[in-house]
Amino acid sequence: MLTNFTLEEEKSLRQWLRDVREGAGYLGIADEEGWAQRHFKTADELLLLIDELKPDCSLYISMACYESPTIKRTQDNATNLCSFWLDLDSHGGGKYQSPEEALADLERFIDHSNLPVPSYIHHTGHGIHAVWATDKIMPPNEWLPTAKALRELAEDFGLDVDGEVTTDAARVLRIPNTINFRDRSAPIPTKLLEAESCLA
């Protein structure tokens, strides 16, 4: 049992990790000192790190697998991809003034594109992540065409996404049920939303 999560938060985090990624990788850590990353080998090791660092750090995870800490987190080195994602920001300068605006536009996009409802919708504090998990583990060359197609669909619709995030196999995404310290004077807890409910 983790100490900095409720039982429900821990349960949903464990499920998210099981569904959206596979294997060892990198935990990204942003604090007042800057950016760092730590390699983890197992889910148990990762969860203990997340629990320890949650109160003081923004936390991110590589969506691809990197088996060894000697392997750099690059697109060429990425393996074992099993999900696709969109990143909609609302922290200033873009189309959305709030995560709720981003979520409403995401709903319109999904209806328009006839895409399945995302497996997970993550309210990241200053935006929305939509993640589609698959039951297939893919190398980057097999994953990339679908990621590019998703990016093209989103951009053609006018969804204000960071397209490079969608097509970057080496990307790290913010971890659900942690804390967004983008503004350290006003940290925001992040949370998973019920995709079927909020996009109905």
Residue 39 domain boundaries: 7-76+171-181
Q: How many separate domains does the chain show? A: 2
| Percent of the chain residues past pLDDT 70, beyond the cut | 100
Give a yes or no: residue 196 inside a domain: no
Same domain, 88 and 148: yes
Same domain, 97 and 160: yes
As a whole number of Å, the end-to-end CA separation of the chain is 33
Phi, psi (5° rounding) for residue 185? Answer: -80, -15
What stretches of the chain adopt beta strand conformation (E)?
25-31, 34-40, 58-62, 81-89, 120-123, 127-138, 172-174, 179-180, 188-189, 191-193
* Contact (CB, 8 A) for 40 and 49: yes
The string of pLDDT tens digits covering residues 37-46 is: 999 999 999 9
- The reported pLDDT for the residue numbered 200 is 60
- The reported pLDDT for the residue numbered 198 is 73
The string of pLDDT tens digits covering residues 133-147 is: 999 999 999 999 999
Mean pLDDT value across residues 149-169: 96
**Partner residues linked to 154 by β-bridges:** none
Same domain, 66 and 121: no
